[in-house]
Chains A and B, each alone.
Chain A
Amino acid sequence: MGGVSGEPDEPEAALGLACVVGLGSSPVLELLRWHLSGDIWRASAARLERWGLSRPVAARFVARRRAWRAQPVRERMEETGVRFVPLSELGTAARCLAVPPAGAFLVGEEETWRAIMTRPRVTIVGTRRSTPYGRALARAAAGRFVGAGVAVVSGLAFGVDVEAHKGALATGGLTLAVLGCGPNVTYPRAHAAIREKVRGQGVILSEYPPDTPPAPWRFPARNRIMAALGDAVLVVEAGERSGALITVDEALSLGRSVLAVPGPLGSEASRGCHRLIADGAAIVESLDLLVKEYACRSRTDREGRGLCLSPSFAVLRGTEAEGRSGTVERFIQEALAQGPCSVDQLAQAAAGGVREVSAALALMELRGEVVRAGTGVYALNPWGLLQSRAQPGGKVVVGGMAWRRKRRSG
């Protein structure tokens, strides 16, 4: 971690590096840990060898460097609306990676990018083969983080990734998608619509130049950047060999905290999470504590970025329509905390009518927050592993249903 941190990289040289060595010459990128991109770009083959590159690698790099022309790349970036930022703008952690990226190609508003980089960030990862539980949770967690002013970083992949983006978008928060292909390439295709939304409200980022097609080996590489961009990593669901665990490894090697969400016992999709917890990852016991946990464990404070930790702030955010039913739900939660109540009792105590109360109770029951405790009587879910509130726009978060249902009918 040499004396380079703090000094800006030369954008032109970084762009050249990104285009020339992005295609696999990772030993060159490793030099970025100790040297500025301008120095690498201008270094002679002999100097590169002195810095540790083998002769063929150095020779190949020099040859490619000579052949490379900035003009076509610039033009293509212009056409596709892609910008380039050098490594020095990706935060200090990016340079600490074993193989730092030369920089990043971005799609999205300049201001949004700045906003994201000045905020605390969390990386939410998980399996693509997620369960409804995991998806709902990813969404809810993203919402909570956004509520506390944290930007959500994820990978726009199927499953947990895309739900995290959705959760952030729905709450009106900032989100950053890190791709394993060119920033202008839509992959997976099914996510074209959500991709557009991310571009509008957040930023899409990639290490690879425009038009780079997706390739299997690019995704593990992309995971390291996700790890570097988040101040902590939240693993929502991960199988035993999930790619999400690569992100976790990278994050750990950067000294980032890892938070893992436990899953239902026996769920294949949560094995990786359980392993992480057994290995000492922070366990997420409730969404209410999630942001606090994150704050305690992430390095945001040291980097001087503010984090809004007032829980009421997280609750009060959201659209107006949601605000209303949210109030009823909060009221119900408070009332039920005193003991089980019937719908009528709740309606009487609340300003709202029986309609609002029973509708709110239905949603809360669906989410597992309340249970029926007698004929027409509701109580707080005593097994409430997850307690989350509705997402704006009436989205419902559901969790831990299978065994809870069993419990009720048993």
Chain B
Amino acid sequence: MGMASVLGFALVGINAVPVRVEAHVRPGIPGMTVVGLPDAAVREAKERVRSAALASGCPLPAQRTTVSLSPGDLRKEGSGFDLAVALAVLAAAGFLPEACLRGVAAVGELALDGSVRGVRGVISMAETSRRMGVRRLLIPTGLGAEAAEVLPNAACEVSTLRHALDICLGKVQGGVAPPGGREGGSVSRMAGAVRGDLDLADIAGQHQAKRALEVAAAGAHHLLMVGSPGSGKTMLARRLPGLLTPLDRQEALDVTRIWSAAGLRSESEGLAMERPFRAPHHTISRSALIGGGSPPRPGEVTLAHRGVLFLDEAPEFSRDALEALRQPLEEGRVIVGRKALTLEFPSRFVLVGAMNPCPCGFWGHPTRACRCSAGVVRRYQDQLSGPLLDRIDLVVEMPPLSLLALTGREAGESSAIVQRRVVAARAFRAVREQAQRHEPAGWEGGAGGSRPEHHPAVLERRYQLSREAVELLHAFAGSNLPGGRTYTRVLSVSRTIADLDQSDSVRCEHLAEALALRVDGRAMWAA
């Protein structure tokens, strides 16, 4: 009898790939066959579709039904095809003119009573729809805000299969306006996106560490905090997202896409407003950290994209996991290869590592005795020295706080104030780099901008060191024989500090402060 097709989407990594869902209803032994590499969840769609159709008042005919998912060589997974399958079958069965499905895409899982449930990755699907010129995208209720960000007028929330049919038939007006009805106004909405419950002012003392955090935020530098238990490492790290510049629209889209694809967002949130903060436990496996599985799913580094990845107890992470961090730290992306396909996930984040100076945590403590032998301490600290330390720009040692310092404290600066300086520094940097006719080194990318060129001469010219600063740099280079990485990292940190000062040239004091926060591969942090 009839043939009909509608567009659905398969989620590959974090991107949506269009899948044409075709249905053919013809005489024969009653039954439904799904072809086109469906996984078990997709194959089960036929039972859900049959019940939902019945509940919607459109019982499927007792005929032979074939559903084909094209392209046929792409493995399809999940329950997101239910709605598309149902629409295609119903159109093929004559409940719906086939023309009504032209230019329509549908995603959603069907319940047996015909209601439509949410799926992962709706924003990616909306983006793909826009690229393909889809006229109408049917999505489950609650996800409209997310989809409307990229597809303002074509996205329709549907609550039931019946609702979907009515929209296709033109009986009901669909379409969701973007929240607030504005385009590109997200930034202003997000300006106050500092988490109210996580303010820098809550933390007593540790002014140097706070300053390091500010520098890290301003320059998207990776940071390592070394200190005894209770010195406030975790508290500080949690406050870093609130110091970074507010997400701009593009960044918000990136974050939303990833989180949506990972199924970590609650419904009806719209765009992400806060920078992600991910703090995986140190027992995490390599593939959970950088992404993996089959089909590959984004890992923690990708979930932390445009935000902060916090590795508490950094030396406790498996060597394997730490080694795997090289690529994301250096390139801002990870490539996960599996038998069937190879995927690339973005992973630009600010890494914050925290570690005790030794396994017991009291190495270098003024009052507590450390019970680790020197060899143990060295081995512990060496865990980090290779792959990770090379890519960390800032190290701050945090002395333990006395009870006195905790109680008799002066009010520190709030996150909002520091964030304002960070925003100003980035703006200054953007202007400066424009003036220098340099590639604005990944700053439109925000957190974890791309690594600058490493040649010292380039750095000196680009970073505009004052004459005294060059001399200081030479004195440092001459005395400490730093490796190339240390050298360039000190330079780039000093540039960031100068930006925070709104200073065109890197002066001596900027460089000196960068030197105070340098990583120089020393094995023993304390003493």
Binding site for B on A (CB under 8 A): 132, 136, 325, 340, 342-344, 347, 353-356, 358-363, 365-366, 372-377, 393-398, 401, 405, 408-409
Contacts and interface: CB of A to CB of B under 8 A. Distances in A.
Nearest to B226: A375
User: Among the interface residues A325, A365, A377, A394, which one has the most CB atoms of the partner chain B within 10 A?
Assistant: A394
B512 A359 contact: yes
A396 B475 contact: yes
Nearest to B378: A409
A396 B364 CA distance: 28
A394 B476 contact: no
A344 B399 contact: yes
Nearest to A133: B479
Interface string B393-404: 000111110000
B471 A401 contact: no
Given A344-B208, A362-B515, A374 B365 contact: yes
B208 A375 contact: no
Contact of B397 (A356, A376, A401, A408): A376
Contacts of B227: 375-376
B527 A373 contact: yes
B399 A398 contact: no
A362 B468 CA distance: 15
A138 to B, nearest CB: 14
A363 B208 contact: no
B196 interface: no
A35 B166 CA distance: 126
Interface string B490-527: 00000000000000000011001111111000111111
A396 B468 CA distance: 9
Given A344-B205, A375-B526, A366 B366 contact: no
Interface string B407-451: 000000000000000000000000000000000000000000000
Nearest to A373: B527
A251 B469 CA distance: 39
Interface of B: 205-208, 211, 226-228, 231, 357, 363-366, 396-400, 405, 468-469, 471-472, 475-476, 478-480, 508-509, 512-518, 522-527
A132 B364 contact: no
Nearest to A377: B399
B364 A374 contact: yes
Nearest to A346: B208
B207 A343 contact: yes
A360 B524 contact: no
B205 A362 contact: no
Nearest to B228: A375
B469 A394 contact: yes
- Interface SS, B side: mixed
B207 A347 contact: yes
Contacts of B479: 132, 366, 398, 401
11 contacts: A342-B208, A354-B207, A362-B515, A366-B480, A372-B527, A375-B226, A375-B357, A375-B525, A396-B472, A397-B475, A408-B524
Nearest to B207: A354
Shortest 8 CB-CB distances between A and B: which pairs? A394-B468, A359-B512, A374-B364, A394-B508, A376-B397, A362-B516, A376-B399, A362-B515
A356 B509 CA distance: 7
Contact of B513 (A342, A359, A374, A396): A359
A393 B468 contact: yes
Contact of B471 (A342, A374, A395): A395
A395 B474 CA distance: 10
B527 A395 contact: no
A233 B454 CA distance: 45
A283 to B, nearest CB: 23
A136 B479 CA distance: 10
B242 to A, nearest CB: 20
A375 B476 contact: no
Given A344-B205, A394-B472, 20 more contacts: A343-B516, A344-B206, A344-B208, A358-B513, A358-B516, A363-B512, A366-B476, A372-B526, A374-B399, A375-B397, A375-B399, A377-B364, A393-B468, A394-B468, A394-B469, A394-B471, A396-B471, A408-B522, A408-B527, A409-B522
Nearest to A355: B513
Contacts of B205: 344
Contacts of B478: 132, 398
A362 B518 CA distance: 9
Contacts of A365: 516
A344 B208 CA distance: 7
* From B226, B476, B478, residue with most partner A Cβ within 10 Å: B478
A401 B480 contact: yes
Contact of A343 (B208, B522, B527): B208
A375 B478 CA distance: 26
A95 B273 CA distance: 85
Nearest to B520: A405
Nearest to B466: A394
A374 B361 CA distance: 12
Given A344-B208, A359-B512, A362-B515, A375 B468 contact: no
A398 B474 CA distance: 11
B517 A358 contact: yes
B517 A395 contact: no
A372 to B, nearest CB: 7
A159 to B, nearest CB: 14
Nearest to A368: B479
Contacts of B517: 358
Contact of B398 (A359, A360, A375, A393): A375
Most buried by A among B207, B363, B397, B400: B207
Nearest to A361: B516
A363 B480 contact: no
A332 B357 CA distance: 25
Contacts of A376: 208, 226-227, 396-399, 526
Contact of A398 (B366, B475, B513, B524): B475
A358 B516 CA distance: 6
Given A342-B399, A344-B208, A366 B515 contact: yes
A382 B469 CA distance: 28
Nearest to B469: A394
A375 B395 CA distance: 11
B480 A405 contact: yes
Most chain A CB inside 10 Å of its own CB: which residue of B205, B472, B479, B514: B479
B47 to A, nearest CB: 62
B364 A354 contact: no
Nearest to B515: A362
A381 to B, nearest CB: 13
Contacts of A397: 475
B208 A358 contact: yes
Contacts of B211: 354-355, 358
B468 A395 contact: yes
Contacts of B366: 340, 374, 377
Nearest to B214: A355
A363 B518 CA distance: 12
A363 B507 CA distance: 13
Contacts of B525: 375
Nearest to A342: B399
A360 B512 contact: yes
Nearest to A356: B509
A393 B471 CA distance: 9
Most A CB within 10 A of own CB, among B517, B525, B526, B527: B527
Contacts of B208: 342-344, 347, 354, 358, 376
